[in-house]
Homo-oligomer: A and B are copies of this chain.
């Protein structure tokens, strides 16, 4: 997979003994690669949103664990204790994205299954596993793209929120993967990107990567979507997800629930695209999905300039939960899931009902 040749950029990769990231905080103005040589630096990059997007966070944490394992010695007990500490480090970076915990659990299970094996061999296996997680993520996105393309009409205008693109995954994207899939299937498709306050992932990231993919994109303020739906200008909505409960309730970027309700009222289909690593079958519904509260500064300041008067409080939940009843379909690499979701999700993920 040569993602740089195909997309013109990579989101996260292992290169020459370190984790490399495209620093998404500086886009679209500056394209800068962060080269991270310690697990602590990788964890900080996730926490500080140099990399973001649920699948990309999972892949980055896996690579960070493989990197961190190299800092641990060869003594088996110390290795196990040190690795548990690394898992805790990454688990504490962002609370909402299920893919993060899924990736950590997978790396932890690998180590548990190699008890008695030399640390050097475990380190090799961890790096192989992290690379596999990355490659599987790109493949899952391409498969979602192919499935999801069927949902997008030729000539459609698709509204998306936040960035669920190549930049939010190891490559190709989940929601934007569906859009790329429609394009790759020969369909004409145009995108309306919510700018997505306060972090502006839509204006900064979705617009940037779709421009590079030569897919027509227009940026709108989040409050404009409703009147464009009323005017009949939006064919469907496609968004990503940070965590999906067993009943199909979807946690995603703050503002997603708003769009889902507006889509229902205006009879616009509302699709979610997410790899199976996003599902949390331990949660019966979305009410117990932990919602990250991010810093007030991301609301009160903009490019260093204060936009909210000193002393005025702000709210900053980074995610909201969209009840499954508002979701027209969930596109996964296992197929397109429809209501009733408790059944379709359990069946697709191979768990008993």
Task: Output the nearest chain B residue to A307 by Cβ-Cβ distance.
Answer: B203
Answer yes or no: A311 CB below 8 A from chain B CBs: yes
Q: Using known A-B contacts A224-B315, A255-B221, A255-B223, determine if residue A304 contacts B303 with beta carbons closer than 8 Å.
A: yes
Give the distance in Å from the alpha carbon of A194 to the alpha carbon of B258 in the complex.
Answer: 14
Judged by a CB distance under 8 angstroms, whether A222 is at the interface is yes
Interface flag for A29 (CB, 8 Å): yes
Query: Would you call A168 an interface residue if the criterion is a C-beta within 8 Å of the partner chain's C-beta atoms?
Result: no
Chain A, 223-234, contact with B by CB distance < 8 Å: what is the 0/1 string? 111111010000
Q: Are A198 and B221 in contact (CB under 8 A)?
A: yes
Contacts of A312 in B (CB 8 A): 207, 211, 217-219
What are the residues of chain B within 8 A of A254 when measuring CB–CB?
Answer: 221, 223-224, 227
A77-132, CB < 8 A from B: none
A224 CA / B319 CA spacing, docked (Å): 9
Q: Digit string of A273-299 for contact with B (CB within 8 Å is 1, else 0)?
A: 000000000000000000000000001
A interface majority secondary structure: mixed
Q: Are B258 and A309 in contact (CB under 8 A)?
A: no
- Which one of A194, A225, A258, A321 has the highest number of Cβ atoms from chain B below 10 Å of its Cβ? A258
- Closest chain B CB from A238 CB (angstroms): 17
Q: Are B265's CB and A226's CB within 8 A? A: no
Q: Mark A196-210, 1 if CB is under 8 A from B, else 0.
A: 111010011001100
Contact A315/B208 with A227-B320, A303-B303 known, Cβ cut-off 8 Å: no
Which of B161, B224, B309, B316 makes the CB contact (< 8 A) with A211?
Answer: B309
CB <8 Å contact, A226 and B315: no
Q: Which residues of B contact A255 (CB under 8 A)?
A: 221-224, 226
Residue A220 at the B interface, CB < 8 A? yes
Contact A220:B314 (CB < 8 A) given known A227-B320, A306-B28: yes
Q: Indicate whether A1 reaches chain B with its CB closer than 8 angstroms.
A: no
Whether B219 contacts A197 by the Cβ 8 Å rule is no
Query: A212's closest neighbor in chain B, by CB?
Result: B309
Interchain nearest-CB distance for A321 vs B (Å): 7
Task: Evaluate contact between A258 and B208: CB separation under 8 angstroms.
Answer: no
A261 CB within 8 Å of chain B? yes
CB–CB B305/A257 < 8 A: no
How far does the alpha carbon of A261 sit from the alpha carbon of B311 in the complex, in Å? 31
**Complex contacts, A315 vs chain B, CB 8 Å:** 192, 218-220, 224, 228
A203 to B222, CA, bound (A): 15
Q: Which residues of B contact A161 (CB under 8 A)?
A: 223
7 contacts between A and B (CB under 8 A): A195-B307, A217-B312, A219-B300, A221-B316, A223-B255, A227-B321, A261-B262
